Amino acid sequence: MNVKMAVRLSAAALIYLMPFYCLASLVLDETRVIYPEADPQESVKVDNPTSLNFLAQAWIEDEHGREEQHFTVYPPLSRINANSTSSVRIEKIDSEKLPADRETLMWLNIKEIPQRQKADGPQLVVAFKSRIKILYRPKSIDPELHESFTKMTWQTLPGKLIVSNPTPYHITFDKVWDGAMNNPANELPANMVAPFSSLTIPVPAGKTVHTVYYDIINDFGGLSEIQHISL
């Protein structure tokens, strides 16, 4: 056995023998944060239902994953004791440079840092991160999504669907089906369409879609009624 192979096997064995903690522990009470301009701040509860203490590191990124300059989160680092609940606050710093005709998407990140466990030998501890959307809505638009998503228009072309969003909201799909909903093979890959933008959804090569069913994730993290579109 050569040296490189021996090193690889030793490293693999070491990882296998380490105590391994791999369950996310901190639980957020929201799947998304709706932040109307009229509100001075928004908060998210962070629950620790375990018997361990954790540090929670919080920060906000813009839609491209860069540090957000217009909003901040307090506290950026906090201790959440076992079987207890804390909260983080999201506050505006300067929203004047944000679009006034559409909502702005950001991301709230919460990373849990577990306490070191008493154990013999090395430990492999995984720090999990939760990431949820923040949707900031300026006062010029309705603070609630309501049924705006039904205004989307659909166009079918060979090998793709194009969905256009004429609203000021980010619309997140739960599922999109080409035809019968009870057939998993009919599900199409679709995520989110930005305000005043379009999304191209690929379909099997050479196929033209004539019937679409879809539902979206609403402001409360629930699902809308399934919509039917004939093309």
DSSP assignment string, 189-231? ---EE-TTEEEEEE-STT----EEEEEEB-TTS-BPPPEEEE-
Q: Which of 33-37, 99-103, 106-110, 157-161 shows the lowest per-residue confidence on average (mean pLDDT)? A: 157-161
Q: What does the pLDDT average to over 148-172?
A: 96
- The architecture (CATH level 2) of 148-230 comes to Sandwich (2.60)
Q: What does the pLDDT average to over 56-74?
A: 95
Structure confidence at residue 22 (pLDDT): 52
Cα separation, 169 vs 192, in Å, equals 10
Cα separation, 172 vs 149, in Å, equals 9
Structure confidence at residue 24 (pLDDT): 61
At 162, which amino acid appears?
Answer: I
Checking if the pLDDT of 16 tops 60, the result is: no
Structure confidence at residue 123 (pLDDT): 65
Structure confidence at residue 80 (pLDDT): 95
Q: Which two tokens stand for residue 64?
A: 């491209």
Using 50, 70 and 90 to split pLDDT, how confident is the model at 57? very high
Q: What does the pLDDT average to over 72-88?
A: 96
Widest CA span in the chain: 70
Q: Where in the chain is the domain with CATH 2.60.40.10?
A: 24-137, 148-230
Place of tokens 């004791």: 81
Q: What does the pLDDT average to over 26-38?
A: 95
At residue 169, φ and ψ (nearest 5 deg) are -115, 150
Q: Which of 1-5, 147-151, 174-178 shows the lowest per-residue confidence on average (mean pLDDT)? A: 1-5
Using 50, 70 and 90 to split pLDDT, how confident is the model at 180? confident
At residue 44, φ and ψ (nearest 5 deg) are -130, 130
Containing H/E element for 1? Answer: none
* 101-157 pLDDT per residue, tens: 999 999 999 999 987 766 666 666 677 899 999 999 999 999 999 999 999 999 999
Q: What does the pLDDT average to over 22-30?
A: 80
**DSSP structure class, residue 22:** -
Percent of the chain with pLDDT over 70: 86
In the three-class reduction of DSSP (H, G, I as helix; E, B as strand; rest coil), residue 68 is classed as: coil
Task: Write the burial class of residue 5 (CB in 10 Å: 0-12 exposed, 13-18 middle, 19+ buried).
Answer: exposed
Containing H/E element for 146? Answer: none
Structure confidence at residue 119 (pLDDT): 64
Structure confidence at residue 128 (pLDDT): 87
In the three-class reduction of DSSP (H, G, I as helix; E, B as strand; rest coil), residue 75 is classed as: coil
The predicted model scores a pTM of 0.84
Containing H/E element for 130? Answer: strand 129-137
Nearest partner of 66 among 106, 94, 99, judged by Cα: 106
Write down the CATH number for the domain with range 24-137.
2.60.40.10
Q: Which two tokens stand for residue 142?
A: 């309705």
Using 50, 70 and 90 to split pLDDT, how confident is the model at 91? very high
Cβ-based neighbour number of residue 65 at 10 Å: 10
Contact call for residues 86 and 56 (beta carbons, < 8 A): yes
- The dihedral through the CA atoms of 199, 180, 187, 202 has a sign that is negative
